Structure 1
Amino acid sequence: MAVGFIGGRVRSGGTAAAQFEAAARRAEDVAARAEAEADRFQERAEAAQSELATARDEVRRRRARLETRVAEVKERHQKTRDKLDAARARVDKKAKRVAARESALETAADALDALTAAAERRRAEADTLREQVQGLATSVGRRQQELAGREREVDELQAHLDEATARLDQLVKEHLAKLEQTASLSREEARDRLVAELTREAKLEAAGAVKDARDEAKRTAQREATKVILKAIQRLAATATIEHTVSAVPLKSDDMKGRVIGREGRNIRAFEAATGVEVIVDDTPDAVLVSGFDPVRREVARLALVRLLDDGRIHPARIEEVVEATREEIDAEIVEAGEQAALDLQIHGLHPELIRLVGRMKYRASYGQNLLQHSVETAKLAGLMAAELGLDARKARRAGLLHDIGKVIEGDLEQPHAIAGMELARQYKEHPDVANAVGAHHDEVPMATPIAPIVQAADAASGARPGARREALERYVQRLKGLEGIASDFEGVLQAYAIQAGREIRVVVDTERVSDAVAETLARDISRRIEREMEYPGQIKVTVIREVRAVAVAR
């Protein structure tokens, strides 16, 4: 019984092994088919990737050609616009010449009308004489019956009258011929010469009037310009801010510095790599410093570090997450700041990219003056000046807000910020007057409209306002010494004092060596030398003081 049982198990085990082998073979067949199918799919995927790469290359080539065509179209458009402007200028010049010729012709026509009127009067006198003669003839006819005996005498008188009339006409013709021969001019030439003389006199009178108007404008221009600028500045009150390249982040304790650094410095390296700034951990108590020249990056780093310290979890993954979230928040604040500035100035229709760049000004400083506040202040001053002069205040505000937009363009620029800002304004379809004012506020391009000098004056007024800009103490002292040194180099100068934070220099001269006339020349020479040799914001007033004292003692 036991043996049979064991044999049964052996037979049963043999059957199971055969089944297992069959199943294994089927599995191998399935695996082989699956591998073949996978190879086919791999080949199809590689073919699809190759086609995709080819399509991408084609798209890149078409995009490059399209960009090239767009650039060519823009260039042709700009050339066409320049040609149109030149043609308009030529048309304006021709229109002025035509207007001058029309004025001269009108003057000549008036003179010709006067001559015609005189001829008409002479003709009327002749008609009157003819009527009188006809009246005499009628009277003679009526009295023919009564004076039949005197008919022959009347005929003779009529003959004498006809002869006298013919002789008179002949004398007039001879007199005119003698006049023409004496003057060497015909009647038409005399008329032309008279017209030319009247035209010349009219031009001389017009030139005199223009000169008088220009002299009057020169006398009043400085006074009116000063009045406009002072009114604009008095109507605007703004604060000044100072910004540094280093931001301090407070710590709850010095123990937090080790967590900021991390094991073997991995936290600080990850933070600097994520933000692009430098973190300075030194002996400063309860604080670390964030240093960087890009103010936006520095602000992102400062806020991110504050949030990491408040959260307490400081490790590379958390650092990247917090920095990215903070960067998105700062980007949103930048757009909001640009929109708010445009809204405050009532400027509409700005391109979104221009709004973003205006917002970036919030985190940028120029000579210690916040760039966004400076641009808003310049826009307000320009708008007020334009309104005082009766010009377009909206264009002036727009150009004032965008005049320093070239300073916040990302990337390295090989051109002045004014030119970069002008090209950016043209790129985003700003008005040509606005673009010209942006490019001309530092005299890099010629000023084409009255808006440009207004923006330049507003920019100078905003930067020259006391307290608006910050200078290093050493540079400030050097500038004052330079001013006094330049003034002291001139002959006859006794003392020179720089006052009003270097915006005025007063020069005391020797009365025996410098006269009143020389004092005026000396002030002009000192100002010109300061312009050539020094760099300074705003303007510097030079005052030459020549004092004469007469002393007597009564005993």
Structure 2
Amino acid sequence: MSIEIVFLLVGVAVVAGAVIGTILRNRISGSQVAAAKQTASQILTEADKEADIVRKEAAIQAKDALLAAKAEWEGEAKEMRRELQAQEKRLLQREENIDRKMTQLEEREGALSRREKHLGGQEDRVKELESEVDKLIAEQTRRLEGLSGLSAEEARQQLMANMESQARHDCAKRIKQIEDEARETADKKAKEVLALAVQRYAGDYVAEKAVSVVALPSDEMKGRIIGREGRNIRAIEAATGIDLIIDDTPEAVIISGFNPVRREVARISLERLITDGRIHPARIEEVVQKATEEVDNSIREAGEQATFDVGVHGIHPEVIKLVGRLKYRTSYGQNVLQHSIEVAFLCGIMAAELGINVKQAKRAGLLHDIGKAVDHEIEGSHAVIGADLARKYGESPKVVHALAAHHEDEKPSTVLAVLVQAADALSGARPGARREMLETYVKRLADLERIGTSFKGVTSCFAIQAGREIRVMVASDKVSDVESHVLAKDIAHKVEGEMTYPGQIKVNVIRETRAVEYAK
């Protein structure tokens, strides 16, 4: 064949293949579409069935929910009906109670009305009886006035005077009886009162007399004073026997203790440690030792200076130290060492006037309070302790007795003992000795005398013993012996109510009867 024929055959074959392929594809597509339609028809049929099932289930669930809601509503409705019925029942009961109470109130009102009418009638009857009684009293009064010869007012005044006199007499007897009973228990009661007073006043006294304050350059120094784990502060307290209080007070440390000498040693030691800056247990012991020696020297020098100023010699060195220790003691704000020197000079002046041994008097006056230097360490009063110390260190028996008797621990039996007692009272009671201004002192004396003379029957009044005693003179024809006790009580009560004073004031009422005749 020729090439054209071959090409022609090939072309015919290609065309025929294309036509056959198209026919085959059309046949295949038709079968697929039919299958797809059949599948879709099946899916729709199944979907309808499932939809019917879902609709039926939803309808069933809706019916169930409706039934449950209906049952719940019916239950709530029943509960509400029960509550309403209960409330209705309670309201009915309340109405019944109110009705019953109203009935009772009406009955009470009726009873009160009847009583009111009855009381009105009784009131009228009482008024009639009162009128009759007044007439009877007036008639009886006229008869009594006629029989006694006194008017009603005069009789009343006389009766009141008699009753007042009898009452004052009975009161005076009762007061004397009470005083006699009180004396039997006075010692016990006095101790209780003193203990209570000391307890209530101890706070201010301790704050002033048992505490010293040391200033610090800064608050950082508090930590150095305390030391690691508190070893420094424990070392200071152990070495001095004094408590250190480190609190929130800015730039200050409080030294607390009742022993004034130890407190002074602690103060000096702490100030030196702060200045030096080296604070550790070994250094603390060294500084405390030096401060103790310095304070001992100061005490000895103070005692020697006191004996030199007074002009007494030959006193035992230990007694001189005791005198020096009084430099750190106070009594009612008065320095005991200065007080002892003053007593020594007063004793010397009075001894010179009486012509007895001046040196011995000054010696007893200077040493009379040495018991106060150790009375917190030894039991007993400072007068007895001082006498024992004086006897121990070779003082004469007269001086020892004067020391023991200056507060009546022993009965004074020598002129020297009385001199020391008087000088001690003068030094403590003089104006200004115990932080009291002269104007206040003089005003207190004037007030005491004014109060004493304000009572009826008092002829004169004197404030003595630096205001510690008020002596009242009364007229014997106006105040009886029994009434003098009442007068003393009245004056004491008025002094307590109107005045402020230290200690106590003795009220001494003196009544005397004098018989005077003239020989002509």
TM tier, smaller: 0.3 to 0.5
TM-score when normalising by structure 1: 0.45
Q: Whose Rg is larger?
A: 2
